Amino acid sequence: MDFQFTAQQETFRQEVREFLRKELGPDWKGGKTQEMFSPEFSRKLGKKGWIGIGWPKEYGGGGRPHMDQLIFGEEMLYGRAPAAAHILAQNMVGPTLINVGSEEHKKKFLPMILSGEVVFCLAYTEPQAGSDLASLQTSAVADGDYFRINGQKTFISFAGEAHYGWIGVRTDPNAPKKHRGISIFIVDMKTPGITTRELHTMFDHTLYEVFFDDAKVHKSCVVGQLNQGWYYITQALDHERVFMAATIAGYQRIFDEIVEYAKVTKRNGILLSKDPIIQQKLTEMAIELHVGRLLGYRLAWLLEQGIVPFAEASISKVFTSELEKRLGNLGMQVLGLYGQLQQGARHAPYNGYLEWEYRFSPMQAVGGGANEIQRIIIAIAGLGLPR
């Protein structure tokens, strides 16, 4: 067994770190989700060749192994790099097109994803299809060389900014199993009949409802084969797992800032870092972060061995998302009364980042497959428990 990164990997880590420091400046503290959306930064990253570093070389990717992707992800998250504009296209759209897309789709979309010029939104969830996603009802009905799409999506990130939508629709309402009647379409968000409406979240992030009102799209918008959408959706999740493996790095950054604050801030005459109760809480979190990081390394390692780690990925998702909520709470606790001050307030430590984090943190356990669903995946797929 060997837990060491190679010298090349360490060099790569340094290279990423220095690039981010140069591009974002030494004082960059990141921001809320909307501030993490920067097409300008995405284009810079594309120019550097750092979008799609894990994609195969023949498609213009970096061809780097999973461990390199893990390192890259860690540095991006620790540096709070504003990658929201291209991350979905890079992690879900590109890899799926490479696997199952038509030549036309590959030629059209892969280069613009790699250069950071295109924004995709992912639209699966519907008002009546959340955890039970395969029940989605938005329909696409063939009409000559076209399809007519009708229905509604909800809780969609960046639908207002996106050039294209990557949407799941029902194309065979009579399929014997509901999973078999779903297809993926790429639609131009400017298509007549597609409208969006803002949904404002507690954590200042704008989500969207997307309405399809007889939106007419050409049949070439179908990704891969018709009615294979469910298979593509689950397969695409695999590509996300290696980025999930890096998640802890973002939390480590928050934790390091909390510790830094505790070391220089006095309350009741003593440094917070010397307060036994605060110490206890910080220490517990340090242990959890350490454990979580190793969980991520294990995930990346399994992927590198060509194993699809369904259950391990779910364990990691549950672990990190629940850790994040405790971290959000810890941050506000350490800051005491100051913890409640929001961005822009005169006395707000870290410009209110931890106050925002507390509001943001419940999202991860809900989104991307609620933790209740993840636990069932762990039990059934991982442990072989009966349905």
CA 43 to chain centre: 19
Check binding of 372 to other proteins (CB under 8 A).
yes
Q: Does 273 bind other proteins (CB under 8 A)?
A: yes
Our finding on whether 375 is near other proteins (CB under 8 A) is yes
Q: Which residues, 58 to 87, sit near other proteins by CB under 8 A?
A: 67
286 counts as binding other proteins under rule CB under 8 A:
yes
Residue 78 amino acid letter: Y
51-69 in b/e burial notation, b at 16+ Cβ within 10 A? bbbbbeeebbbbebebbbb
**Is 267 within 8 Å of 338 (Cβ atoms)?**
no
Q: Is 15 a catalytic site residue?
A: no
| 386 lies in the binding site for other proteins (CB under 8 A) | yes
**Cα pseudo-dihedral 370, 371, 374, 379, rounded to 10:** -140
CB of 372 to other proteins, least distance (A): 7
- Please count the other Cβ atoms lying within 10 Å of the Cβ belonging to residue 11: 11
Whose CA is closest to 25, among 100, 88, 79?
Answer: 79
The count of other CB atoms within 10 Å of the CB of residue 288 is 19
Q: Which residues pair with 206 in a beta bridge?
A: 200
> Which amino acid does the sequence have at 21?
R
Neighbours of 22 (CB within 10 A): 9
Q: Does 268 bind other proteins (CB under 8 A)?
A: no
> Would you say 319 or 350 has its CB closer to other proteins?
319
Single out the catalytic residue among 15, 161, 240, 322: 240
Task: Determine if 291 is a binding residue for other proteins (CB under 8 A).
Answer: yes
User: Could you say which DSSP state residue 37 is in?
Assistant: B
Binding positions for other proteins, 5-24, rule CB under 8 A: 5-6
118 lines the binding site for other proteins (CB under 8 A): no
By beta-carbon proximity to other proteins, the closer residue of 325 and 359 is 325
Q: Is 36 a binder of other proteins (CB under 8 A)?
A: no
Which residues would be at the binding site for other proteins (CB under 8 A)? 1-6, 67, 259, 262-263, 273-274, 279-280, 282-284, 286-287, 290-292, 294-295, 297-298, 301, 305, 311-312, 314-315, 318-319, 372, 374-376, 378-380, 382-387
Q: Return the active site residues.
A: 240
